[in-house]
Amino acid sequence: MSDLETYRAKAAAWLETMVPDFGRDARQGLSEADDLALGRRYQKAKFDAGYAGINWPVEYGGQGLGHLEKISFDAEEMKHGFPNFYFGISLGMPVPILMQFGGDKAFVKERVLKALKGEEIWCQLFSEPAAGSDLAGLRTKAEADGNGWKINGQKVWTSWAHYSDYGVIVVRTDPNVPKHKGLTYFWVDMKAPGVTVRQIKLAGGDSHVNEVFFDDVKIGDDHRMSPVGGGFAVAIATLMIERYVATDSAGFGPHLDLFVELAKEIEINGKPAIEDGRIRQQIARNHAMRAGLDSINVRARLMMEAGMIPGAEGSLNKLVAVRSRQKLSELAIDLRGSDGFAFDEHASQREDWTSSWINAPTGRIAGGSDETLLNTIAEKVLGLPQDHRPDKGVPFNEIPV
């Protein structure tokens, strides 16, 4: 057994011991507040056992191990349905960025430690009503105010803001220069006066994203995490982490085996649907697609193990997998026919086709829309030209709205 295999086996064994207290069954029927509380206890247990911050520096409370240990642990952890998603964004992007770009080291250390223990949660305040794919078009502004800054404006699609203690934020500090050049990156206290969080209900019924309003929110200049006017680069660094975190050939929907099972149970024209060419075709095509993504992911891991940089094909995962999952989920509903109306809004989108279907559009938009991903591949990988952008080089306050 390689070191990595040993590590993985040990982690798997530890995770098994967590199942009775924190697993899928233990969470059944909990209110969100109770589930969050359970989640905080689970995160603390991970920290105590040395499974929080696996690949983070020891000086910040991490374990100082590699990316491979981290993804091995994640793969094992994923099996049990633990209440860990409250910390996914927090530990995924803002806190690592804080470690890299935060100024006051003592303060940063304290925050990182509390985040790793599940005591504090961070959110990421990027998108705005008028700036989704076009991040640099954002309007929330910070004006110089004494030795610090005063923030006014509105953010949107902020996951878990309603539970967050802190957030990282990109704002416009200079409207007189082209849009990318007038942005600055800060952290903010989400409990500060003038910060208002309002939950947004999504199409499928849940509400983990928010609008966040800033009304004369005052922060010191020590909150600044980029040069003035240099915030866009830090924002992109944040998003780059996001793109490489998410790989799942099921597109965060159900495993294909569940579709095969469904097709075996259901009859079309008196025969199991699994014998119908149309169903077989979809199973085969989806399997081939997922097998391709799996192979890409495995190769990427092997390359990282060998100290190489994986190819750009890793960026296909979300684009290809979520789009396919949407249509396959529709077919599953079709297949169930008159039994297909039934809906449980608490069902998991990884286990239930209807939940998978209703949440698929969010997956095709969040974290880079299909169109943004296609543009990225076309421009960054293939060298095709950027789209026409009339706002390029134009001072932000001269762009027509």
Q: Would you say 58 or 381 has its CB closer to another protein?
A: 381
CA atoms within 13 Å, Cβ hemisphere of 305? 14
For 196-211, b/e burial (b = at least 16 CB within 10 A) is: ebeeeeeebebebbbb
What distance in Å separates the CA atoms of residue 188 and residue 169, rounded to the nearest whole number? Answer: 7
Which of 146, 388, 400, 401 touches a second copy (CB under 8 A)?
A: 388
The interface with a second copy within residues 251-310 (CB under 8 A) comprises: 276-281
Q: Which is closer to a second copy, CB of 221 or CB of 276?
A: 276
**Residue 2 lies near a second copy (rule: CB under 8 A):** no
CB 42 within 8 A of CB 18: yes
Distances (CA, A) of 35 to 15, 30, 385: 18, 6, 47
Handedness of CA 185, 191, 192, 193 (dihedral sign): positive
The one of another protein, a second copy, none whose footprint includes residue 391, by CB under 5 to 8 A per kind, is: another protein
| Residue 393 interacting entry, from a second copy, another protein, none, C-beta within 5 to 8 Å by type | none
CB of 145 to another protein, least distance (A): 30
Q: Name which of a second copy, another protein, none residue 386 binds, using a CB cut-off of 5 to 8 Å depending on partner kind.
A: another protein
137 binds, among a second copy, another protein, none (CB under 5 to 8 A by kind): another protein
Spatial distance between the Cα atoms of 348 and 54, rounded to a whole number of angstroms: 27
Q: To the nearest whole angstrom, how small is the minimum distance from the Cβ of residue 174 to another protein?
A: 18
Q: How far apart are the first and last CA of the chain?
A: 61
Angstrom distances, CA of residue 367 to CA of 106, 168, 232: 31, 16, 17
Q: Is the CB of 79 or the CB of 278 nearer to a second copy?
A: 278
291 binds, among another protein, a second copy, none (CB under 5 to 8 A by kind): another protein
Q: Which does 382 bind (CB under 5 to 8 A by kind): another protein, a second copy, none?
A: another protein
In sequence order, which residues have a C-beta less than 8 Å from that of residue 166 and are 6 or more positions away?
94, 111, 120, 121, 122, 123, 187, 188, 189, 190
Hunting for tokens 């109306």 — which residue is that? 341
What minimum distance in Å lies between the beta carbon of 194 and a second copy?
39
32 binds a second copy (CB under 8 A): no
Query: What is the DSSP-derived secondary structure letter of residue 85?
Result: G
**Cβ at position 163, least distance to another protein in Å:** 20
Closest distance to another protein from the beta carbon of 229 (Å)? 20
- Helix axis angle for 277-305 and 316-336, nearest 10°, is 150
In three-state secondary structure terms, 124 is strand
Tokens, residue 30 = 């909990």
Q: State the binding partner of 330 from another protein, a second copy, none, CB within 5 to 8 A by kind.
A: another protein
CB of 31 to another protein, least distance (A): 18
Q: Tell me whether residue 207 or residue 281 sits nearer to a second copy (CB atom).
A: 281
Residues that bind a second copy (CB under 8 A): 276-281, 388, 390
